A and B are shown apart, each in its own frame.
Chain A
Amino acid sequence: MSEPIALTVRDAVCLFDVSPPFLDRVLSGARRRVLRAVDGVSFTVRRGRTLGVVGESGCGKSTLARMIVGLQPPTAGTLRLEDMPLADGSLARPRVQMIFQDPYASLNPRWRVGDIVAEPIRELKLVQGEAAVQARVAQLLETVGLAAADAARFPHAFSGGQRQRISIARALATEADVLVCDEPTSALDVSVQAQILNLMRRLQAELGLTYILISHNLSVVRHMADDIAIMYLGRFVETGPAEEVFANPRHPYTRLLLETIPDVQHPNRDRQPLSGEVPSPIDPPPGCPFHPRCPQAEARCRETRPALEMRDGRQVACFVVR
């Protein structure tokens, strides 16, 4: 835990205006509508560690990822990459890169793999001279388990897992320290997923990378993450060390989520499916946003929204279980 902090997020908020067009509002008297995609999220990630962010679709986890890499400006709050000491003792801002979910959409089909991986090196002028660029590209491709000769081929010649390796090589080309991975394996088959997850773990050990892993797949997060944050309707409802959250989930949503995921080790077990659905983030319920689905909800849950409270190194936003 003595590692320096790589990323600090303070009260990050991201709102989207989804109001009807101006004329419709005037004519029909419709009001402005605001979608609260991320609604006040704070956390820190230490260098060399993996934070897993878990939630169902529409909970704001991808918007959070886009804010961290700067693709989406926050409406309020701050996201800060902390300066890190380099090998020579000087301080520098870490570089952040993103691995996208769909390796078929995130690589330009008209570019050769070598050019895809070389672009950030040329753009950031990381090495001097074309020969050095090519040498670096070859080295990166070999790092992610491809051949140096693959640089001359086009993305269509590669399978999904190999394309995701190219995405990782491109992210590493910037000498990135922080990688934001948005569902990096959900488009892949399980045996290929295992190859990519193993690669990510190996690279983390070798290069000291910091990961922010966004996923809906709890078993992937369980395998990869040191710390975990459970997100529901734009807010964190439970955070803490992954081992403890999985061993002893506190928030009713975390518990139900862990209860509902299929477990290949226990076929055909009887279980209580989580009833109801995620409410719309445009019109969230008052009080705790989870109360309409919560088996333990009390009267105050319907009126006041519980804040995240720290206890035993874990944060839980719930009145009932604290």
Chain B
Amino acid sequence: MSGAAPLLSVRDLRVAFHTRRGRLVALDGVSFDIAPGEILGVVGESGAGKSLTGTAVIGLLDPPGRIDGGEIWLEGRRIDTLSPAEMRRVRGRQIGAIFQDPLTSLHPLLTVGAQLEETIRTHLPLGRAEAKARAVALLREVGIPAPETRVSQYPHQFSGGMRQRVVIALALAAEPKLIIADEPTTALDVSIQAQITALLRRLCRTHGTGVMLVTHDMGVIAETADRVAVMYAGRLVELGAVDQVVRAPRHPYTAGLMASIPRMGKREDVLAQIEGSMPRLGAIPPGCAFSPRCPSASARCMVEVPVLPAGGAGAACWHPVAEPAHV
């Protein structure tokens, strides 16, 4: 994927909340690219800044949060400096969004057809009848049975999995180049989860859409993403191909996270656990944010902030886990 020009390029992104009690840096020096047709998984625990990264990219940061530094480029155009009006045209047209809860992202008083047609006609030069036909085609594409009748139904008439399909259809309505999917499967049952991740993968392949998949679930990432970005306390700690990060993580945090997931294959007596918890925003330690919990931390880790190696793949760590010989 590195050969193609990136679709989305985030450089040194810094987001802070300006509060009465001072400035809280929530994202610090986050850099990554997404190529066309690629799914980048952004994973981390609550408060790691993964949703905030998505929110910053689509320009929906709420005050007191704001971008304090860095650049966001979409198809060679800088979008973090656009005016709110210009950004509204980018959203929906070029960037689609899928949120966690499919019930609250749909308008309960409008039929799904009306919501789809509104989005289609806002962004594409289509007439009423063409928009309606496209709405039906979109519902069919996301795998909703009998789309001709379903298009005139209301969100409450759909089940959770079907609603999330409608939300995906809405995100796809204007054929965006990039989709930000924030925990798209978290509210769904496992068997429905698998249907939705399979759908996302298929759509992203056939349309060449780049997807930023934000989730806390390593399993969903392993099944869906091409590359993974692991976040901790507002920083990117590891970036790489999904197989490599999942099987041979280099950052001690990623390694600890992977070891703490119960295995399906074998049953251990005691799960590996990372002692302590992630620092609060106001109390991120100097140096590496993970150093107080890290088994291999040295004096250097308490002082100097480690960065990702040049080229963007690898671990932001002074003492990465050794690469196994057979990989």
How many angstroms between the C-alpha atoms of A185 and B250 in the bound complex?
27
Q: Is the CB of B195 within 8 A of A275?
A: yes
Stretch from B57-65, B81-89, B132-140, B269-277 contacting the other chain: B269-277
Q: Is the CB of A264 within 8 A of B261?
A: yes
Q: Min CB distance, A316 to chain B, in Å?
A: 19
A102 within 8 A of B: no
How many angstroms between the C-alpha atoms of A80 and B272 in the bound complex?
37
Segment 174-211 of A: residues with Cβ below 8 Å from B: 189-195, 197-198, 201
Q: Is the CB of B243 within 8 A of A222?
A: no
Q: Is the CB of B277 within 8 A of A192?
A: yes
Segment 211-250 of A: residues with Cβ below 8 Å from B: 216, 218-220, 222-223, 243, 246
**Given the complex, which residues of B lie within 8 Å of A243, measured CB to CB?**
267
| A190-B257 CB under 8 A given contacts A263-B264, A264-B222, A269-B223 | yes
Stretch from B19-27, B171-179, B212-220, B318-326 contacting the other chain: B212-220
A110 within 8 A of B: no
Q: Is the CB of A264 within 8 A of B258?
A: yes
CB closest chain-A residue, reference B199: A273
Q: Min CB distance, A192 to chain B, in Å?
A: 7
Segment 19-37 of A: residues with Cβ below 8 Å from B: none
Nearest 10 CB-CB pairings of A with B? A262-B219, A194-B260, A223-B262, A189-B45, A274-B191, A267-B222, A273-B194, A56-B189, A260-B194, A194-B271
Q: Is the CB of A265 within 8 A of B263?
A: yes
How many angstroms between the C-alpha atoms of A277 and B145 in the bound complex?
12
Interface size of A by CB at 8 A reads: 42
Q: Min CB distance, A271 to chain B, in Å?
A: 7
B246 within 8 A of A: yes
| A271-B261 CB under 8 A given contacts A198-B270, A198-B273 | no
Q: Is the CB of A263 within 8 A of B219?
A: yes
Q: Min CB distance, B143 to chain A, in Å?
A: 9
B294 within 8 A of A: no
1/0 contact trace for A151-184 toward B, CB 8 Å? 0000000011100000000000000000000000
| A262-B45 CB under 8 A given contacts A273-B198, A275-B195 | no
Which of B191, B192, B216 is packed against the most chain A CB atoms within 10 Å? Answer: B191
A311 within 8 A of B: no
Segment 191-226 of B: residues with Cβ below 8 Å from A: 191-195, 197-198, 216-220, 222-224
B265 within 8 A of A: yes
CB closest chain-B residue, reference A278: B189
24 contacts between A and B (CB under 8 A): A56-B189, A56-B191, A56-B192, A190-B218, A190-B260, A191-B277, A192-B45, A194-B261, A194-B262, A222-B264, A257-B190, A258-B264, A260-B190, A260-B194, A262-B222, A264-B246, A267-B222, A267-B246, A268-B222, A268-B223, A271-B223, A274-B194, A275-B195, A277-B192
**Given the complex, which residues of B lie within 8 Å of A275, measured CB to CB?**
195
A261 within 8 A of B: yes
Which of A191, A195, A265, A278 is packed against the most chain B CB atoms within 10 Å? Answer: A191
Q: Is the CB of A273 within 8 A of B195?
A: yes
**Given the complex, which residues of B lie within 8 Å of A218, measured CB to CB?**
190, 264
1/0 contact trace for A6-48 toward B, CB 8 Å? 0000000000000000000000000000000000000000000
| A223-B218 CB under 8 A given contacts A191-B45, A268-B223, A271-B194 | no
Taking a contact as CB atoms closer than 8 A, the residue among A189, A263, A267 that contacts B242 in the complex is A267
**Given the complex, which residues of B lie within 8 Å of A304, measured CB to CB?**
none
**Given the complex, which residues of B lie within 8 Å of A146, measured CB to CB?**
none
A57 within 8 A of B: yes
Q: Min CB distance, A34 to chain B, in Å?
A: 20
1/0 contact trace for B46-66 toward A, CB 8 Å? 100000000000000000000
B161 within 8 A of A: yes
Q: Is the CB of A197 within 8 A of B262?
A: yes
**Given the complex, which residues of B lie within 8 Å of A263, measured CB to CB?**
219, 222-223, 264
How many angstroms between the C-alpha atoms of A220 and B263 in the bound complex?
8
Q: Is the CB of A261 within 8 A of B190?
A: yes
How many angstroms between the C-alpha atoms of A256 and B144 in the bound complex?
21
| A201-B218 CB under 8 A given contacts A159-B277, A190-B261 | no
Q: Is the CB of B190 within 8 A of A216?
A: yes
Q: Is the CB of B219 within 8 A of A261?
A: yes
CB closest chain-A residue, reference B293: A191
**Given the complex, which residues of A lie within 8 Å of B296, measured CB to CB?**
none
**Given the complex, which residues of A lie within 8 Å of B191, measured CB to CB?**
56, 256-257, 260, 273-274
B298 within 8 A of A: no
Q: Is the CB of B265 within 8 A of A277?
A: no
| A274-B222 CB under 8 A given contacts A220-B262, A223-B271 | no
Which of A194, A266, A271 is packed against the most chain B CB atoms within 10 Å? Answer: A194
Q: Min CB distance, A16 to chain B, in Å?
A: 19
Segment 83-111 of B: residues with Cβ below 8 Å from A: none
Taking a contact as CB atoms closer than 8 A, the residue among B162, B222, B247, B260 that contacts A191 in the complex is B260
CB closest chain-B residue, reference A223: B262
How many angstroms between the C-alpha atoms of A23 and B216 in the bound complex?
48
